[in-house]
Structure 1
Amino acid sequence: MLVTTFASKTTLPPQIPSPSPLPEPKNLHNPLQPFTRRDLLTSLSLTLLPFFTSPQINNHDNFDPFSVQVSQARGLFQMPPFRLSNRYFLVRAGESEYESLGIINTNPVAKTSVDSGLSKEGKKQTAKAALALKAMGACEANCWIWPSITQRAYQAAEIIAAVNGISRSHIVPEYSFLDARGLGAYEGKNLDSISEVYASDSLSPNIKPPPIDDGTPNESVSDVFVRVTQLMSILETQYSEDTVIIVSPDSDNLTILQAGLVGLDLRRHRDLSFGPGEVRFVDTSSIPTYKQPASAVYKCVNPPNCS
């Protein structure tokens, strides 16, 4: 049998260069010690760096990921803010069961407990707040309600949503940034003793209440300021030209936030105290005009000779 073999011209695909070999695992201090995870990640980053920095990747579809100006990055929130992208209403939840008994309760462990919910009077105060928001047209063009997950604040959010005809899907519970200010060793004491905390606040925003070992945080004004600034950073990044109703279980979150927005000395945050069920609209005209730092406006017109 005659077998004929035909040789056809075959075009091989272009060879893809193999990645650079990983550096040899070694520990310079002790060659016998195993290769650590840190060493492995370092080796991988060195190997993949040329891929992620190649012009083909960076210039894909003519998009330069580094072309966005820092000043346009909306996630960089500062107090007072350069601008606000949304409308904001600040609401303190109505009186809680503990407040009706004259007891300080700020331990986050119990924040979802039924005992931390609204008192009978607190429900009435919150209903008035919901009607006030309706009269102010807060949710006429839709709105988002951001309550603390604390029982009384979330109950208040549900009442606000019901009165203003807002779907429960527009209630966004906040799990930590809006916790009631932790008052440490004042936990369980009479509400009147909170005046001692505010006396310390007026001296410095960095003074913390005395600590306690039951899990209650002891937060200074500066600690709360960090939390509410982080909250605003999230809201300003997540929404644009929307209305957001912030519902706090206590006054301090709101007074410190408002002080930051208007540029008030944080030691005077108590001057902005919220009563149970109180509602305030954040008026952008009260926010001071942003001034660029000198380093941002300085120009050298004749380098290297600058005056």
Structure 2
Amino acid sequence: MPPFRLTNRYFLVRAGESEYESLGLINTNPVAKTSVDNGLSEKGKKQTVRAAFDLKEMRACDGNCWIWPSITQRAYQAAEIIAAVNGVNRSHIVPEYSFLDARGLGAYEGKSLDTLSEVYESDSLSPNIKPPPTDDGTPNESVLDVFVRVTQVMSILETQYSEDTVIIVSPDSDNLTILQAGLTGLDLRRHRDLSFGPGEVRFVDASSIPTYKQPASTVYKCLNPPSCT
């Protein structure tokens, strides 16, 4: 688990639309994550340029700034655009090889993006429910599986840096919504409420992170009865 008070400043960025997303298709198999087809679409490039200027307007990289993208093609391309716009040296782009992979959606691989609503319906019931498995090598990850990955990223970052700015660039929304839910104490079953659009940027406000975090379980704990918000 990350510490309840972060020593660094964090910005969360979802990469712009990918070529697969432009076709309305789900693509989460890590085998294909570095392929050209997993890169930014033309629309995705424009979305990412806008994200880069949003970060500039937010003065994200006025101090010491590190960019941590998934090695997934679209996320790394986004990191390069962010670095160019914000004057960040390429040596400060640190690719993450597995913990920031897009959430593996198992049997939904290759299906329409519209079918994601079925995944999120299951998520709302329990963070332990996995999408149906498949035999093509695509992982089928539950919310809790992703939560473990992203908290490992935060633990690494909090150990490696101190009082720096880190921009986390994810190829999908789920990595970021699950991370933000975990940091702010939101029930992980509701992570979809925090959905990131392609090219969206958010600052993680460390002062909003409570001492207690909602546990990653199906058991809902009421902290302030009778008010259980």
Residues of 2 paired with 1:164 and 1:120: CA distance?
A: 21
Please, what TM-score do these two structures have when normalized by structure 2?
A: 0.92
The answer to whether structure 1 residue 228 and structure 2 residue 150 are counterparts is yes
SS where residue 217 of structure 1 aligns? coil
Instruction: Return the offset for 1:290.
Output: 5.2
Please, what TM-score do these two structures have when normalized by structure 1?
A: 0.68
* Alignment correspondent of 2:168: 246
* Alignment correspondent of 2:198: 276
Residues of 2 paired with 1:127 and 1:261: CA distance?
A: 27
The answer to whether structure 1 residue 196 and structure 2 residue 125 are counterparts is no
* Alignment correspondent of 1:104: 26
User: 2:117 is aligned with what amino acid?
Assistant: S
Instruction: Return the offset for 1:104.
Output: 0.2
* Alignment correspondent of 2:12: 90
The answer to whether structure 1 residue 134 and structure 2 residue 66 are counterparts is no
- Whose Rg is larger? 1
Task: Considering Cα pairs closer than 8 Å and 6+ residues apart, tell me whether 1 or 2 has the greater RCO.
Answer: 2
Instruction: Return the offset for 1:289.
Output: 3.4
The answer to whether structure 1 residue 147 and structure 2 residue 69 are counterparts is yes
Unaligned 5+ runs, structure 1: 1-76, 292-307
State the superposition RMSD in angstroms: 1.0
Q: Deviations over 1:153-204 (max 9, x none)?
A: 0000000000001110000000000000000000000000010000000000
Q: Output aligned runs, 1:119-130, within 5 Å.
A: 119-130=41-52
The answer to whether structure 1 residue 184 and structure 2 residue 109 are counterparts is no
User: 2:98 is aligned with what amino acid?
Assistant: S
Residues of 1 paired with 2:212 and 2:38: CA distance?
A: 40
- Which stretches of structure 1, 4 residues or more, deviate above 2 A after TM superposition? none
Q: How many residues align?
A: 213
Q: Output aligned runs, 1:1-307, within 5 Å.
A: 77-78=1-2, 81-289=3-211
Instruction: Return the offset for 1:83.
Output: 1.1
SS where residue 163 of structure 2 aligns? coil
Does the 8 Å contact 2:103/2:175 carry over to 1? yes
SS where residue 117 of structure 2 aligns? helix
Q: Deviations over 1:94-142 (max 9, x none)?
A: 0000000000000000000001000000000000000000000000112
